[in-house]
Amino acid sequence: MPKVLFIGESWFTYSVHQKGFDTFHTSEYVEGGTDFIRKITEMGMEVDYVPAHKIETEVPDTVAGYKKYDVVIISDVGANSFLLGRRTFAESIVVPNKLEAIKKYVGEGGSLLMVGGYMSFTGIDAKTRYGESPLRDCLPVKMLPNDDRVELPQGIVPEKVGDHDITKDLPKHWPNLLGYNKVIAKENTETLAIVGEDPLLVIGAYKKGKSAAFTSDLAPHWAPREFVDWVEYPNLWNKLIGWLTSKD
C-alpha cells in the first residue's frame, strides 16, 4: 500500500481574553488533519506526518529523501515554511531548496497532492506564494497573483464532472463546502469535480510523475462535518492517492 508524506495542517492559536479591567492569555496547538490521517490509515496506507512547525527539521531536502514515499501531500502550510528555515532566515546560511527537491522528485516519477486552505496555493492575503515557487511547474493548476480565497458561508455543493476511475463510483453531487482556493486548470489536465464554475479536483502529469490539486479543505472550517463524515470521504482520498501512486 502507498507510503504517504503528509505535511502541514497544524497551527498554534494565541488568544487574549478581556474581562472588564483584566486580561489573560491562552494558547492552543491544533492538528487539523487527524480525521484524514486516521481514515487513510484505515484504508491501509502508511503515513508519516510532519506538522508545519517541524518542516525545517523533518521534511527532506533531497530528491533521494522523497523517493521513499509514494506521494507527498501538502495541506494548508505556505511556501515560506519550506523556504525560510531558521538557518536561512536567522543565520544567512545557504541550504537546499526543499520545494525544488519536491519538483525534481515529481519529475522523476513521484507524485504530489496539494489540498486547499488559507495557506495553500496563493492563500490569504497572497501570503502562501506557491505560484512563485518551483511547485508552480509541477502542479496541474495555475495560481492567481492575489488572495485566492472564495468564502461561501451559505455553502456550495461540489459537482462531479469528470469520467475517471477516481470519481466514477462517487455520486454526482457531494456534501457542502464553505469555501475554496480559486485556481485555473492548466492545459492537458483533467478536471474531475467543480465548485460553481471553478475547479475543485484537478489531476495531471509532470514529466514522469503525477500531481493533483484539491482546492478546498480536508478538514474544518471549509470542510464541514457533513463533508468530513461523508461515507464517501475515505473512498475519494483512497482512489485519488491510488491513482497518483499507480504507474499507469
CATH number of the structural domain spanning residue 35: 3.40.50.880
Q: What is the span of the domain harbouring residue 196? A: 3-245
> Grid coordinates 492538528 are at which residue?
31
pLDDT score recorded for residue 199: 98
pLDDT at 248 over 80: no
CA dihedral 67, 213, 242, 187 (to 10 degrees): -90
Q: Could you tell me which of 63, 64, 66 has the C-alpha nearest to residue 3? A: 66
β pairing state of 190-195 and 198-206: antiparallel
pLDDT at 80 over 80: yes
pLDDT at 92 over 80: yes
Query: How many domains does the chain divide into?
Result: 1
Residue pLDDT, tens place only, 43-55: 999 999 999 999 9
pTM of the model: 0.96
Of the pLDDT bands very low, low, confident and very high (cuts 50, 70, 90), residue 158 is very high
Q: What angle do CA 205, 234, 122 make, to 5 degrees?
A: 50
Burial 158-190 (b: 16+ CB within 10 A, else e): bebbeebebbeebeeebbebbbbbbbebeeebb
pLDDT score recorded for residue 162: 76
pLDDT at 137 over 90: yes
pLDDT at 103 over 80: yes
What is the DSSP code string of 17-29?
A: EEETTEEEEEEEE
Q: Could you tell me which of 206, 148, 213, 137 has the C-alpha nearest to residue 179? A: 148
